[in-house]
Structure formats: structure tokens, C-alpha cells
Amino acid sequence: MISILEENMFLKLTLAGAALLASVALPATAVNAQTIGFSQIGSESGWRAAETTLTRQQAKDRGIDLKFADAQQKQENQIKALRSFIAQGVDAILLAPVVATGWDQVLEEAKEAEIPVILLDRTVDAPDSLYMTAVTSDLVHEGRVAGEWLAAEVDGKDCKIVELQGTTGSSPAIDRKNGFEQGIADHSNLSIIRSQTGDFTRTKGKEVMESFLKAENGGKDICALYAHNDDMAVGAIQAIKEAGLKPGSDILVVSIDAVPDIFLAMAAGEANATVELTPNMAGPAFDVLEAFAKDGTLPPKWIQTESRLYTAADDPMAVYELKKSLGY
Amino acid sequence: MNRLHPALRRILPQLITLVVVLGCNVLVFPDFFKIEMANGRLYGSIIDILNRGAPVALLAIGMTLVIATKGIDLSVGAVMAICGAVAAAAVAGGSDVATAVVLALCAGIVCGLWNGFLVAVLNIQPIVATLILMVAGRGVAQLITEGVILTFTNEGLIFLGSGSLMALPMPFLIWLGFGVLTAILVRKTALGLLIEAVGINLRASTLSGVRGNVLIVAVYAISGLCAATAGIIVAADIKGADANNAGLWLELDAILAVVIGGTSLLGGRFTLAGSLIGAMIIQSINTGILLSGFPPEFNLIIKAFIILVILIIQSPIVQSVLFALRMPPDRSGDDAEPNRDDRADERDHSMQKEGMAP
């Protein structure tokens, strides 16, 4: 009842700035027992499943009532879910947008209803006044971390690198390529000699690696492999083994994502390093909402998640078991 | 040239194309034909082509028969994903490799029977009928793998994808064996002729006593079986069933292999050897592009351009121009044999021409 009265009061103030409104709204939001709606894209990949699991875990640990909506890869389902969250009067909405465009209308509606929206994992093409913040990883940074690790690992020795790119033209492929190039830019001993797309899949990763090995003197000229995701690296590791070389020592393997299977390879000494694309996007989002509920702190418009580097020193089998339990 | 065996003459353009594509590969990668022994198996780019071309070659065998009955099977890529998932789930659940393979092959045959039922019994147009499974099949595969890449360590199953026998990779031996068996089945019996008859005119063949609908169901079942075999190979190759990506878009490569091979999309005469060579042409282009070291942005453009050139050379107009240039003006001196072949050629061309029209 109280909240309805206050909402009516706030509706009169919709022309005022969002920040001002938010600070006025503060007493209305209960600090405990928040209800938060989460519109997830769908189950497109193991990573997505892990993100959902972690979001539910985080919500449970914090005593948040999470309303989960699976959009099955359709934007119209997400918009419907958002409208239903607004109608239910949730305290906040987490949105993992399936596409970048077409969100202005429904985000306006959420703003009018005084419900903060936090974007997870992907951003949208809408004015940033329409959402509270976006929690995403920095794809360029991920590539840079991988490049810097390799530069440190080879320690001044000459190293010819082959690169397995993601799907040509996709933003992870472009950004992870650029980031890696930045990471090795200051090291003239490192050079990328071949770069080809493996479409983010194991099969193509293996096939392309086979051609790299043929083209570079049976692989003897290759010092390291950089793959834009772990799945391609897993495929490539098989190709390296079948060519009679030892992945992990004859050819160093560094990749991105940190899916469970790469930790198995790492435990077997066949992969060297992976940069995590954390599935815990909800944790930072809930932190932000808690801070906001407590004293109205508004977060920056972009929160970068940690891109943690894992190597064989990080007890890969333990990480594997942990990751496996998240539903990857 | 005219003394060549008619069957060989039929696939001569495809063979020449393959040689030209391989020649281009040597230009971009001089060590292309280098083959050496490593770990008890042959190792080289040519071997890669025979090995990596296995899925499309297998799909092309089934697709050729389906297309010969005036049908088309768009579902083969999704059926690959389903059968790979079935095999992986079976070994992950503790079955031995034989059980897993039999289960996967049965799944493929069931998928094929479903397609055949829709086409032959319900009379749905093949492109629509098989589209259903193409769309739904990946969902089925996802349900089997529970949305993850289902990995396995069963040595027997892995052997089918990356093992070798007599120094040759298993996938190559499997598609070669499959192709030879199918060729014997359709060419040493009347089956091939009946399939062609059904493709040219279903009603006329039914009236002459051919059980056309049974044949149509059978060719879709064979196509499903081929797709299942390809699916097992692809899963075994990466030691895991990837429901999202296994066989993705391969149905289109298989159709292309059949078309490059010289079988008309309008049904009727078909050539299995041509389709298999077509599959090798496609894989040679793929491997050549990978070896060339061009930036990946050019991959599809290069592939499209080469295929365009191949199809232009095979087109009826260019063929008749080439034919006119080749024939001496005075034809009376020749014996009767080449004339008969010429008529066969012209029939081919008119078929291809019709094939282009829609």
C-alpha cells in the first residue's frame, strides 16, 4: 500500500532526473527480501546454463526472491517477461539481452515504473539513462591477458604463434584478436604467423589446426597456439597430438572462456592457460543493487567483470569439478 | 577420348575439375602432395582431404539417391547431430561401442523413415517434409546431450573418427566402403534403374508395376543411415557430441556435391562416383583455402567464386560450345559408338538445364 502511494507521488516527478528520483525512492525499497526479475536469453550454451545456475545461487545466498524467465532466444519473449516483471512491481530487473536493438520502449516503461534495470553480459543500443548499469566482461582485455601471459611465459625467446579466430566478424572474434595483438605488441620476439577462423567449434578448431601443422613444417615451426575459445583449443590439442607433437610443451596452448573441459586438458599438461569469462555476472549486479538500496549509491554505467587467468598452478582438477557442478 | 568407358566418360568433367582444383592448391601451397608416414599412418594434405571430406561424402551418397527420386533431404545435418548424440550418450551410459553404433544407426534410419513417410505416404513436398526434421532435429539432439558437449573416452568409438587402418584414416575407409557397397547395390541390381524411373515419372513407374512409394521411403532411410554414419564419425573425431554444431550446414554442402557431381536436381539419372568426386572437390577447396594463409574474411568469397566457375563450366550452354569446338565438322567417318554417347551427353545437358530453371 505504501509503495503504491509513493509510486503515485513519483509518477508526478517523471520529468525530473533519474538520479534525483532514485535517491528519493530510497526509503521505499526494502533493504531485505528484494524481489528481482531475471530475463535470461535461453540455454544457448553451457556458459549460459552456468550463468543461470550462479544467478540462482547468488540470489539464494542473499535472500533475494528471484523471478526467472527463459526467453528461448526470442526478444519478444524477453519484452513480455520485462512487462510482466514491471506489472508485478519487482524491485529490480536483470536483463541478458538476446539482441542489441529494440529495447528503448520497454526500458522506458521500466524507468517510468521506477524499476532499475541492469544488463548482464551484453549491452544494448539504447541511451544509457534507460538502464542503471551494464555488467559485462571486456573482450579486448581478455585477449590482452592471454597475450601478456604468453609474452611472460616465453620470456624473450622467439615464438611463432598460430591463432584460431572465432566466427569471422563476430565481436568476440574481433575484440579478442585485437586484445591479444595489444598484449604482444611490445614483444618483437612474438609474432602471429597464421590466423584462420575455427568458428568457435571443436571440429573446425581441429581441422584448421591440422592445416596449420601441415603448413608450418609439420608443426615444428609453431611455438604457441592462441584460440579465441576453449572449444577450438580442445579440438586443436587433438590435432597436435595426432601429428605426433606434445600440446602444452612442444606447442603452448592458451585460450579464453575457462569451460570445464579445458581444465581436464590442463590437468593432463596439454593446455597451459585460459582466461575466464566469468559466468558470475549476477554477483556484481546484486552488489550494486544492495549498495543502491542501502544509501542510493549509483554505480558507473559499466561494470567490468574480472578476467581471471588460470594456469596449471591453479589445481585444474578442483576447478573442473567446481565448474562441472554449475551446469556447463 | 571417345574410347573411354561410358561410366568414366560421364564423370570425366568432374575428374578434370578435381585435378584443376588440386593443381591450384599446389600453387598456393607447394608441399601439397607431400605424404609421409607418422605414427603408423599416412600424413599429408591429400590424406586430410580424404579424411575431412568424409561427412560430406557420406551425406552425398544418400543425397544422390534421394535427389534421383526427385526429392531432397535437408535434414541430414540435424540427423548427424542426433545420431552423434545417441552414440555419445550410449557410451557415456556404459554401453560398448557396437551397441552405441547400432543405436545411432537405428536412430538415423528412424529419422529417414520419418522423412520417407512424410514424402511418400503423406505426399508432402520433400523440401518441406525434411525441413521439419532439419529444424526440430537439433532440439532433439540438445535434449539427448542435455545442452552440453557430451564428451566420452571410449577408445573403440574414438577409433572410428580418428583411428587408422592400413595407414589410412578410418573415416576415409568408411565412406569409400559405403560408396562401393551402395554402388554395387544400385548398379548390379535393377534398383538403380527403378530409382531413376521413379525420379523421372513416379506415376508411370507405379503403373508399370514399380512400388514407387516403397522405393522413396527406402532412399530416405538410406540417407538417414548415411547421415548417422557421418554423425558418428564427426562425434568420434572430437571425442564429443556437439548438438549445436555437428553437421551444421552440411546438408547444403552435400547437395552441392551432388550437383557438382552431375546429378540433376530434377531427378532421374544419377552418378554416385560423380557425387563422391564432388564432395572431394568441395573439401579440396576448403583445405586449399586453409593452407593458403589468406585472411578468413576471404574464405567464403573464394569458395563461392571457385564453385561459380565450376558450375559455369558445367552449364549446358558452355558445354555445348565446348562440344561444338571439339567435334570435327565431318562426323560421318566415326563409328556408331561415340554417337550413342553423344546422345547420352545431350540428355544430361537438357536435364541440367531444367534443373537450373526454378
Which CA distances in Å does A287 have to A118, A135, A150, A304, B349? 11, 11, 33, 13, 70
Here the contacts of B46-49 (C-beta below 8 Å, separation 24 or greater) are: B47/B168, B47/B169, B47/B172, B48/A207, B48/A210, B48/A211, B48/A214, B48/B287, B49/B280, B49/B283, B49/B284, B49/B287
Task: Write down the H helix ranges in chain B.
Answer: 6-10, 12-28, 45-52, 54-68, 76-92, 97-116, 126-145, 155-162, 170-187, 191-200, 202-207, 212-238, 250-260, 272-292, 299-314, 316-326, 336-356
> A202 and B149 in contact by Cβ < 8 A?
yes
Q: What range defines the domain where residue A270 resides?
A: 139-277+312-324
Q: Using CB atoms, which residue from B39, B44, B238 is nearest to A238?
A: B238
Q: How confident is the model at residue B2, as a pLDDT? A: 54
3-class DSSP assignment, residue B318: helix
Interface residue A73 vs chain B (CB under 8 A): no
CATH number of B6-314: 1.10.3470
The number of angstroms, rounded, from the C-alpha of A28 to the middle of its chain's C-alpha atoms is: 32
Beta carbons of B297 and A169 less than 8 Å apart: yes
Q: What is the mean pLDDT of residues B89-102?
A: 93
Q: Are residues A268 and A284 in the same domain?
A: no
At B110-121, the pLDDT tens digits run 999 999 999 999
Q: Bigger pLDDT: A131 or B358?
A: A131
Neighbours of B153 (CB within 10 A): 9
How far is B84 from B19, CA to CA, in rounded Å? 33
Burial tier of B209 (Cβ tally within 10 Å: 0-12, 13-18, 19+): exposed
A40 chain-B contacts, CB cut-off 8 A: none
Q: Are residues A91 and A178 in the same domain?
A: no
**pLDDT at position B5:** 81
A125 and A147 part of one domain: no
Q: Which of B142, B234, B296 sits opposite A196 (nearest CB)?
A: B296
pLDDT tens-digit readout, B119-130: 999 999 999 999
CB contacts < 8 Å between A and B, how many? Answer: 76
Contacts B55 to A, Cβ<8 Å: none
A184-193 average pLDDT score = 94
Out of B44, B237, B295, closest to residue A206 by CB: B237
A227 and A201 within one domain: yes
Q: Which residue, among B35, B50, B143, B149, would best test binding to A if mutated, counting the most A CBs under 10 Å from its CB?
A: B149
The verdict on residue A303 lying in a domain is no
Instruction: With H, G, I as helix, E, B as strand and everything else as coil, classify residue A86.
Output: helix
Contacts of A328 in chain B (CB under 8 A): 148
Enumerate residues 97 to 116 of chain A having a beta carbon within 8 A of any beta carbon in chain B. Answer: none
Check which CATH number belongs to the domain holding A114 and give it: 3.40.50.2300
Rg (CA), chain B: 21
DSSP-derived secondary structure for B105-163: HHHHHHHHHHHHIIIIIS---HHHHHHHHHHHHHHHHHHHHTTS-EE---HHHHHHHH-
Residues of B engaging A, defined by a Cβ cutoff of 8 Å: 29, 31, 38-39, 43-45, 48, 52, 142, 147-149, 151, 162, 234, 237-240, 242, 244-246, 287, 290-291, 293, 295-297, 299
Same domain assignment for residues A173 and A320: yes
pLDDT at A7 (0 to 100):
45
pLDDT in tens, B154-180: 999 999 998 889 899 999 999 999 999
d(C-alpha B178, C-alpha B87), whole Å: 19
Burial of B60 (0-12, 13-18, 19+ CB in 10 A): buried
So where are chain B's domains? 6-314
Per-residue pLDDT tens digits for B303-316: 999 989 888 888 88
Is the domain of A245 the same as that of A285? no
Three-class secondary structure of residue B298 per DSSP: helix
The pairing of strands A92-95 and A117-120 is parallel
pLDDT in tens, A23-79: 434 434 444 568 999 999 887 677 888 899 999 999 999 999 999 999 888 899 999
State the total domains in chain A.
2
Residue A233: which pLDDT band, with cuts at 50, 70 and 90?
very high
| A57 and A196 co-located in one domain | no
Q: If we measure between CA atoms, which residue out of B195, B203, B202, B252 comes closest to residue B219? A: B195
B109: how many CB neighbours lie within 10 A of its CB? Answer: 21
**Distance separating alpha carbons of residues A97 and A79, to the nearest angstrom:** 10
pLDDT at A20 over 70: no
In a shared domain, residues A12 and A118? yes
User: Is residue A58 in a domain?
Assistant: yes
Confidence of residue B328 (pLDDT cuts 50, 70, 90): low
Per the domain annotation, does A307 fall within a domain? Answer: no
What distance lies between CA A284 and its chain's CA centroid?
12
Minimum Cα–Cα distance from B246: chain A residue: A203
B38 backbone dihedrals φ, ψ, rounded to 5°: -145, 135
Alpha-carbon distances of B312 from A216, B119, B346, rounded to whole Å: 35, 32, 17
What is the C-alpha to C-alpha distance for residues B306 and B294, in angstroms, rounded to an integer?
Answer: 15
Contact (CB<8Å) B242/A45: no
Q: What is the mean pLDDT of chain A?
A: 88
- Poorest-pLDDT segment among A71-80, A105-114, B334-343: B334-343
